[in-house]
Amino acid sequence: MKHVLKLLSLLVVISALWIGLLQASIIPQSHTWLLPIYFVVSLGCYGLLMVGVGLMRFPTCPQEALLLQQDIAEAKDFLKQKGVDVGSD
């Protein structure tokens, strides 16, 4: 619930800023109407950047990979004992 309130308050602040810029005529009218589009595009670019950074910093865990392979082998053996065809290795 806190996250929703944080997002709603951010939306209200951005809307108030945009309406304030429309009323004050600091920025030309033609540019002010494009601000929401710029905001959405910049938010998308930020999201892509965060995904890219997350992928670049994604940790590799060789020990966990070995444990996972052992778990898979144990599961295959268990299923073979129960008569389930698990395919070829």
Q: What is the pLDDT of residues 15-45, one digit of tens each?
A: 888 788 778 777 777 777 777 788 889 889 9
Higher per-residue pLDDT: 88 or 6: 6
Q: Residue 11: which pLDDT band, with cuts at 50, 70 and 90?
A: confident
- List the alpha helices (DSSP H) in the chain: 2-24, 29-32, 35-56, 62-81
pLDDT tens sequence across 40-65: 898 899 999 999 998 888 888 888 88
pLDDT at 88: 64
pLDDT at 25: 74
Do residues 21 and 35 lie in contact, with contact meaning Cβ atoms separated by under 8 Å? Answer: yes
pLDDT at 49: 93
